[in-house]
């Protein structure tokens, strides 16, 4: 079976002034898979994500999403992706339900459709009884789930998750994992960054371990564990990023 | 920039505003009324007339201009800056099909809308007080929208370049307050040194005050140069909020 490439990056480089955040990396992400970017803070993971969601143009290199270059037609790409950012950026003045409706409007989704979609999504993330609650009265876990629901309002083919479960308690984390696995089973492609190796092992089909703007290795979690004689991904990660850091 | 996408941003700000308009509406309307009562009646008891007009009637139309200016400016300084930096609303919007130009256009239109809205409220209040002589005052509404756009443009430019929210203090003290005091709202500028009158000519508020005053008294023709001034300046400034915001946000 030939799998479609959803994201294809060649020679991706990103500079912020004199700082090279991402240094000439190549990767491709296949349809229906979950791809993880792992690495220490400042390794360049978030920059890669920002490039894929057309937020930051690459300094050089070629990044295609759905076969479209990110600098050529960002609007068309962004209409088909969902983004769950690292920061909580919900509209604090609005209720749970209103947050979804307002966000749907950015995609030109009509009110009658967005109301129904919002109901379905709140059901999916188990926030149905919180529809009229103000954002300020949500727990951290509920906020993350609402941000996930918001990212799904345009029925994206590709979901970009920047540290989706950071700061969550184990129950909320498992609940988010369940939702993500469910999406994957419906052929949604997922890209995520995380500092939790357990999360990467549970969700990711392939991972790229990054350090100082470069990709150290790309493979399936099980291949990486075999190749490095490690019993979990965390050992592989520490070995790969730790050695480089010590150099 | 697509107007429909800019409208989505405008619409978002309207939705949020309608959630808390009761508290902010009262605040915005109390201040001009305070000026009207304190200066109009207080100072007016001594000054009596300016250019043959009772002082309170001289003062009143200028408050339409200043109220509109403060509403548009606050919206696109503190409001825009908070959405951009603290609430990260811009980050949420920019990963949807809306791009930075749509977003800036939406912010500008919203600032101008809010300025117009607060101008209208003062027109209504002044009419109730019997301080407006001519029905032509209604025609100032589209002109207030244009001047509101100028204030929104200046404010968005300020938001795009300041390092932190405290820097708006400089903007307010060095730009807004002098403009407010020397705009001709409180006294005619021809009694002042010519340098001050020249300074006033280069500030938008001075022209909006002239417009409001001539429309309020029914002498529309007097304000033709001022109308030309605000249309030209609104167009000349237009590219800069986009450029500066682009530079700030897209790295």
Q: Which residues of chain A does B88 touch, with a Cβ-Cβ cutoff of 8 Å?
A: 85, 87-89
Residue among A74, A81, A85 whose CB faces B91 most closely: A85
CB-CB under 8 Å, A107 with B95: no
- Choose among A10, A12, A87: nearest CA to A51: A12
The 10s digit of each residue's pLDDT in B150-200 is 999 999 999 999 999 999 999 999 999 999 999 999 999 988 888 888 889
Chain centre to alpha carbon of residue A216: 20
Cβ pairs A/B, distance under 8 A: 66
Local structure of B106: helix, strand or coil = helix
Cβ contact (<8 Å) for A56 and B251?
yes
Which residues are CB-contacts of A109 (< 8 A; sequence separation ≥ 6)? A117, A153, A154
pLDDT at B29: 76
pTM, full prediction? 0.93
- pLDDT value for A230: 86
Among the listed residues B167, B149, B185, the one whose alpha carbon sits nearest the alpha carbon of residue B66: B185
B237–chain A nearest CA distance, Å:
26
Question: Is ipTM beyond 0.95?
Answer: no
Stretch A21-37: mean pLDDT, rounded? Answer: 96
What is residue A162's predicted lDDT score, i.e. its pLDDT?
93
- pLDDT over 70, % of chain B: 100
* Inter-chain touch B20–A90, beta carbons under 8 Å: no
Q: Distance of CA B186 to CAs B40, B58, B64, B65, B147, Å?
A: 9, 8, 13, 12, 19
The beta-carbon neighbor of B251 closest among A16, A83, A98 is: A16
Report the percentage of chain B scoring pLDDT > 90.
Answer: 84
The residues on B that touch A, with CB distances below 8 Å, are 4-5, 8, 11-12, 15-16, 19-20, 87-89, 91-99, 250-251
CB contact under 8 A, A89 and B91: yes
Q: Quick one: A41 exposed, middle or buried, by C-beta within 10 A (0-12, 13-18, 19+)?
A: exposed
How far apart CA A97 and CA A118 sit, in angstroms, is 7
Contacts of B106 in chain A (CB under 8 A): none
Residues 7-46 of A with CB under 8 A from B: 16
Structure tokens at A93: 């003045």
Determine, for residues A108 and B19 on separate chains, whether the beta-carbon distance falls below 8 Å: no
CB atoms B91 and A75 under 8 Å: no
Of B11, B87, B250, the CB nearest to A92: B87
Is the separation of the CB atoms in A230 and A239 below 8 Å? yes
Residue of B4, B16, B95 lying closest to A53 (CB–CB): B95
Answer yes or no: is pLDDT of A246 > 50: no
CB contact under 8 A, B16 and A94: yes
Per-residue pLDDT reduced to its tens digit, B10-45: 999 999 999 887 777 777 778 888 999 999 989 999
What tens digit of pLDDT does each residue of B190-210 get? 888 888 888 899 999 999 999
For residue A191, which residues of chain B lie inside 8 Å, CB to CB? none
Considering only CB atoms, B97 lies closest to which of A57, A98, A107, namely A107
**A-chain residues near B83 (CB < 8 A):** none
């Amino acid at each position: 079976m030939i799998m479609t490439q959803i994201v294809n990056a060649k020679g991706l480089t990103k500079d912020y002034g004199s700082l090279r955040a991402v240094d000439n990396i190549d990767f491709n992400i296949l349809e229906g898979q979950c791809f993880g970017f792992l690495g220490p803070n400042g390794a360049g993971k978030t920059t890669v994500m920002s490039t894929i969601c057309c937020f930051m143009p690459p300094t050089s290199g070629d990044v295609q999403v759905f076969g479209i270059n990110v600098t050529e037609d960002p609007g068309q790409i962004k209409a088909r992706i969902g983004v769950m950012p690292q920061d909580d950026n919900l509209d604090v003045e609005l209720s749970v339900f209103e947050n979804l409706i307002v966000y749907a409007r950015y995609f030109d989704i009509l009110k009658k459709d967005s109301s129904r979609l919002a109901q379905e999504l709140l059901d999916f993330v188990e926030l149905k009884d919180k529809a009229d609650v103000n954002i300020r009265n949500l727990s951290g876990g509920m906020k993350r789930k609402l941000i996930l629901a918001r990212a799904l309002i345009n029925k994206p083919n590709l979901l970009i998750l920047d540290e989706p479960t950071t700061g969550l308690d184990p129950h909320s984390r498992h609940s988010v994992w369940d939702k993500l696995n469910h999406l994957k089973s419906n052929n949604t492609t997922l890209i995520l960054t995380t500092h939790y190796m357990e999360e990467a092992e549970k969700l990711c089909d392939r991972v790229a371990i990054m350090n100082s703007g470069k990709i150290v290795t790309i493979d399936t979690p099980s291949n990486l564990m075999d190749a490095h004689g490690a019993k979990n991904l965390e050992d592989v990660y520490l070995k790969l990023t730790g050695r480089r850091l010590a150099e | 920039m697509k107007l429909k996408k800019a409208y989505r941003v405008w619409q978002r700000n309207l939705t949020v505003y309608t959630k808390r308009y009761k508290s902010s509406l009262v605040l915005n309307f109390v201040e001009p009324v305070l000026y009207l009562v304190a200066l109009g009646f207080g100072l007016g008891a001594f000054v009596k007339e300016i250019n043959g007009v009772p002082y309170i009637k001289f003062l009143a139309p200028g408050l339409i201009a200043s109220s509109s200016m403060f509403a548009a400016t606050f919206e696109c300084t503190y409001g825009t800056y908070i959405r951009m930096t603290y609430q990260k609303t811009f980050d949420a919007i920019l990963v949807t099909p809306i791009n930075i130009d749509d977003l800036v256009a939406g912010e500008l239109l919203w600032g101008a809308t809010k300025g117009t809205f607060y101008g209208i409220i003062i027109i209504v209040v002044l009419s109730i007080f019997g301080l407006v002589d001519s029905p032509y005052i209604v025609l100032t509404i589209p002109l207030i929208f244009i001047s509101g756009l100028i204030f929104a443009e200046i404010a968005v430019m300020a938001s795009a370049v300041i390092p932190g929210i405290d820097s708006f203090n400089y903007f307010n003290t060095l730009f807004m307050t002098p403009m407010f005091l020397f705009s001709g709202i409180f006294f005619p500028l021809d009694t002042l040194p010519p340098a001050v009158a020249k300074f006033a000519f280069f500030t938008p508020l001075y022209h909006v005050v002239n417009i409001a005053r001539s429309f309020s008294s029914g002498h529309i023709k007097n304000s033709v140069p001022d109308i030309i001034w605000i249309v030209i300046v609104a167009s000349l400034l237009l590219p800069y909020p986009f450029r500066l915001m682009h530079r700030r946000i897209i790295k």
